[in-house]
Structure formats: C-alpha cells, structure tokens
Structure 1
Amino acid sequence: MTATDRFFCAEAARVRGDALTGTAPRGTAWVLIEYRRAWPTNGFDGIDLDPETKAHVWAAAHALRARILLVRRCARPRPEAPARWAVLHHETSGAYRQRWGTWTRDADLLEIADALRTPGGLDHPPVVLVCVHGQHDICCAVRGRPVARALSEHWPNLVWECTHVGGDRFAANVVVLPDGVYYGDLDADSATHVVEEHLAGRIHARHLRGYTDLAPAQQAAVTALLARYGPAGRHDYAVTGTSREGDVWRIRVELHAPRPTAFDIEVHAHRTPPHRLTCRGPQPSTSVAYEARTIRPV
C-alpha cells in the first residue's frame, strides 16, 4: 500500500457520514498521569512502572470504573519540574471535583488510590484533553496534534495531550473534564470555537459526541434538543425518564433554564453495515447509530 492509498479511518468515516451522536463512552471518574516518555499502544498498561504500583493504581481505578489516561503538555516542560497526576470526578449532583499531585518516583503514584476514595476540591478549572495517541491510531496523531497546538496557544494551562479516549474514526477528539463532554470531527479552527463556547457555558450540537454520564440513546436525545433549540449549559438539560421497546427508545428530558420545560424524544437505534472503524483494525465491524426521530414538548 502506498502513501496515496493508505487507509485512514477518520477520513473514511467522514466519507460515509458516520454519526457522532451517542458515541461518548460512559464514565464519571478519570485518572490522569503525566508521562513524558513514549506512549505504548496500550497506554497505562504498557508503561514501564513498578508492577506493584501499577497493579494498585489499576485496581483502585477499576473499583470505581475510572479511566486511566496518560497525558503530557503540548509544550515541552522544564526537565526539573515534577510530573503531575490528577483524579477527576463528575458527581451526580453536577459537582466537579479534582485532586492533583506530583510524582518523581513510581511509589508516589500510590496516592492516586487514596484520591479515588476521597472527594477532591471544587475550585479547579476544567481540563481539556486532546487525543494524539498515534501508536494506538494514526488518525489521532495526524488530526489531533494540530488541534492540541491550537488549543494550547489559547489555553496553555488547561490543555493536555492524552492517550486513547475512544472513537478513533472521529479524530480529532477533544474531551472536557470533569464535565464529561466529548467532541469529535474537529480541526484547529472548529476546536478553538467549540472549547471557547464550552468554557462560556454554551454547548452546541455540532461536533458533540455526547455526555459521559448518559447512555448513548440519552446522549442522542440531548443532542437533538441542542440542535433544535440552540446551545445550552452542561446541566441545563436533565434526563428524567427512559424506556425502551426493541430498537426504539423514549427519553424524557427536562430543561431547567430559562423556564422549566419537558420534552419526550423518540430515538431509534440501528446497526450499521460493517466497515473498517480503525486504522489498525483490518477486519470490518459494525456499530450502533442513534437517531432522534421526534421531539414533543410535554
């Protein structure tokens, strides 16, 4: 295969028109570990770390279903500066909690287990992650790095490059934490606009993959409301009811501002034809797409 006919999953997904909606993986807790050496294909699992420390951190994260991501700054840090770690929580109340620490030796990372069990502070700014994990999927590096550079120029203290966040074919992917909001199909210009709007409390349907505290059909319902009625804050909409009959979901969503309003949204799920969904995966596979068919104010 030559450079001109090489397969790129993100390009193929755009040609097919793959839907972003409802593709944010579930999760409300994350562990970030700054790791300045090369990132292996399998991220945290593959780094050179004391086995007992690694097992302890993994077990603590697994108990809370927390995702572990390796991170680094786009700009090269000072050699003498210690690496950082963080535990981020998105609580059901909507509160965002963070606890940060530093590490210079493997054993310092044992603090992560304690941080996962205790609430963090509420006074931290959000974290903006850009997946650039080229060892996992080349599209993440090719499309993610220009986005990371552009965002770092605007928000150098908020933005980190990170390992695989899921959805290679939607690169460039940006995740805002602990908000738990996934964006995809971004370039440098669109990412700058999306993050600027997000930080101002305005989430748009365009480029939105979903909210990580919601199931895929629920994500599709909220995205449909944002598409019809315009951008809204992260917690302006709340899912208050969900039922399912086969491939049809009925989602009730309430709008808290500017005045209380409820909507019933019918979301249809269907399995797509098999396609190559990642650059590294040669075998075609299917995915489930979610489409909001009707929106009815209650």
Structure 2
Amino acid sequence: MTAPARFFCAEAARERGDPLAGTAPYGAVWILIEYRGGWPSNGYDGLDLEPATKSRVYAAAQAVRARILLIRRPGRRRSEGPKRWAVLHGDRDGAHRQQWGTWNDDWDLAAIAQALDPPDAPNATGEAGPGRPPVLLVCTHGPHDTCCAVRGRPVAQALGERWPELVWECTHIGGDRFAASVVVAPDGVYYGNLDAGTSLTAVEHHLADRIHANHLRGYTDLTPAQQVAVAAVLRESGPAGRHDYAVERTVRDNDRWLIRVAGIAPGLPSYDVEVTSHRTPARQLTCHGRFRSSALVHEVTALRAV
C-alpha cells in the first residue's frame, strides 16, 4: 500500500494561490532572546527557565503586547561569549528604539522587564540607541512547522552571508504557510514566500527604504484590511519608503472597508481603497495542524487616486 504524500503547508498555499498581503500579525515591540540549545515547539513558553524570572518577563511582555522570540545566528554556527537579548520598539512616526544586553544566568533576563519601561525610566538597562540598523529575523522554527525550517534555513543562510551582523534565525512569527518569512524589526515589516534569491532582493530594497509590494505580507502596526490597502497602493504607484504613506481614514461596514491611504512624501498621491473580506473553505493551514480551519482573506475591490 502506497503511503500518502507528505503534506507541506507552504506548497499547498502556493498551489491554492493564498493571498500574501494582509497576513502580518500586529506588533510594535519585540523581545529577542538568544537561545543556543534546541527550541521547544512552543518557543519561549517551553523553556526550562527559573520560574520567577520567566513569569516576570512574560507578564511584562503581555502588558505591552510584545512578541517574545528565541533567536540564534544562521546555520547554528557556534557562538562564543555571553548570549544576547534585545527589546525593539517601533513607532508609527518612524521613531525606533533598540536596547540590547547579555545574559549568562536565567536571572539576568529580568533586565528585559526593565528595558520595556519608557526610555526615560530610571531603571532602563542595556545598550540602547535609536540609530541602530534594523534586525532581520528569519523564521526557521522546525519543531513548530516543517516548512519554516525547510524554506527558512536557506534564506537565513543567504541573508546571513550578506548581512552577518543583522540576521538571526527565530522562532514562530505566524503564517507558516507563507514560509520563508522574514520580519524586519523594529521597522515592523513582514515579507513572505521568499527563497534565497528573492530574500536578498527584498531586504536590499528594504534597507534602501524602497519597499515593494512583491513578497510584502504587511506592516505590523496596521490591521489586515489596511495592510492590503497599502500593498495595493505600492503595487499601483511603485515602491516607496516605510513611512511615505499613512492610513488616514478607515470606515468599516460589515465585511467592507473604505480606506484612505495618504501620500506623505512629496509628490505622492493619496488613494481611496475599497477592501472586502471573506472566509475560505476549511483547509489544513500548517504542516503539523491536526484540524482543518478557514482563513479570513482581504481583497481589494476598488482603488482610486484622489
């Protein structure tokens, strides 16, 4: 008897033509913890850390809706010295903050909770600064989803060879079926459906502040409908900087949105974008998913320059 073919969620999504835009999870704050051992399937939650410190970091993260990611350098190359942690903040006006520190013992991670305080708080700790380059996070979390490892590791390797100081592999960031996925933080930009070649192009454009609609999942400070509207504007008018457009107005009527995307940079027009949503039939959306589920899809139904 022939065994059933192995299911890969990213292959299935490409065959179906699952829309990429509008799939970036919300996020403005990221906590990164370098962890050189094996990653549990549930990431930080599964780590065997000192309980009080682990709970303190988790509670502080929950208070500001921060995402906690485990990180390591690409290729599992052996790192020397203390492990690193970081707290990355992104603001809608383009202001960014990064705070980095090191840890040897579990108790050292308590500094993360202090780093989540406002920048002028007296207990702020670590190496901080707004002028640092962004961090490139590539999901390679195999225990969570096979496609993330199979498709993510070649991307992490290619990016790591080009920008070795910026690139980290990371645990689950959402949207397994869009592997390989890259998050640029604290810019708050998700890219998906990447391979080694397209990832180099996408990141090179991003670092030059010329974001293209190709491979763009969305901006993490926007709702899914707003992400789709901005991607449609970039597709219509061409690549633009991360903050060259802003969502000026959003009006919702059930499963329909009217969104004004305003050109902020000189010479850029504004657009009115109509977006509608619907649910797909139930499908297996992840490699390891036990149940079939539907996805909410947002699509542009009208776009007009104003």
Q: How does 1:40-51 map to 2 (within 5 A)?
A: 40-51=40-51
Give the total of aligned pairs. 298
Question: Given the alignment of the two structures, is residue 115 of structure 1 paired with residue 115 of structure 2, yes or no?
Answer: yes
Aligned to 2:297, which of 272, 289, 296?
Answer: 289
Normalising by structure 1, report the TM-score.
0.97
Aligned to 2:242, which of 234, 246, 254?
Answer: 234
Normalising by structure 2, report the TM-score.
0.94
Residues 181 and 191, structure 2, Cα contact 8 Å, conserved in 1: yes
**Counterpart code for 1:24:** A
Q: How does 1:22-33 map to 2 (within 5 A)?
A: 22-33=22-33
Q: Using the TM superposition, give the Cα deviation of residue 48 of structure 1 relative to its aligned residue in structure 2, in angstroms.
A: 1.5
**Counterpart code for 2:303:** I
**Counterpart code for 2:52:** E
* Structure-1 separation of matches of 2:240 and 2:268: 14
* Structure-2 separation of matches of 1:115 and 1:2: 55
CA RMSD of aligned residues (A): 1.4
* Structure-1 separation of matches of 2:2 and 2:152: 23
Which residue number in structure 2 is paired with residue 129 of structure 1?
137
**Counterpart code for 1:150:** A
Report the more deviating stretch, 36-45 or 114-123.
114-123
Unaligned runs of 5+ in 2: 120-127
Unaligned runs of 5+ in 1: none
Which residue number in structure 1 is paired with residue 123 of structure 2?
none
Q: Using the TM superposition, give the Cα deviation of residue 124 of structure 1 relative to its aligned residue in structure 2, in angstroms.
A: 1.0
Q: Using the TM superposition, give the Cα deviation of residue 292 of structure 1 relative to its aligned residue in structure 2, in angstroms.
A: 1.1
Residues 21 and 217, structure 2, Cα contact 8 Å, conserved in 1: yes
Q: How does 1:196-235 map to 2 (within 5 A)?
A: 196-235=204-243
**Counterpart code for 2:8:** F
Alignment deviations for residues 173-218 of structure 1 (CA, whole Å, 9 cap, x no partner): 0000000000000000000110011001111101000000000000
* Structure-2 separation of matches of 1:117 and 1:242: 31
* Structure-1 separation of matches of 2:144 and 2:201: 27
* Structure-2 separation of matches of 1:21 and 1:259: 25
Which residue number in structure 2 is paired with residue 188 of structure 1?
196
Alignment deviations for residues 41-91 of structure 1 (CA, whole Å, 9 cap, x no partner): 000000121011100000000000000000000155555411000000011
* Structure-1 separation of matches of 2:110 and 2:291: 39
Aligned with 2:270: secondary structure?
strand
Which residue number in structure 2 is paired with residue 83 of structure 1?
83
Q: Using the TM superposition, give the Cα deviation of residue 153 of structure 1 relative to its aligned residue in structure 2, in angstroms.
A: 0.6
Report the more deviating stretch, 229-238 or 79-88.
79-88
**Counterpart code for 1:235:** H
Aligned with 2:116: secondary structure?
helix
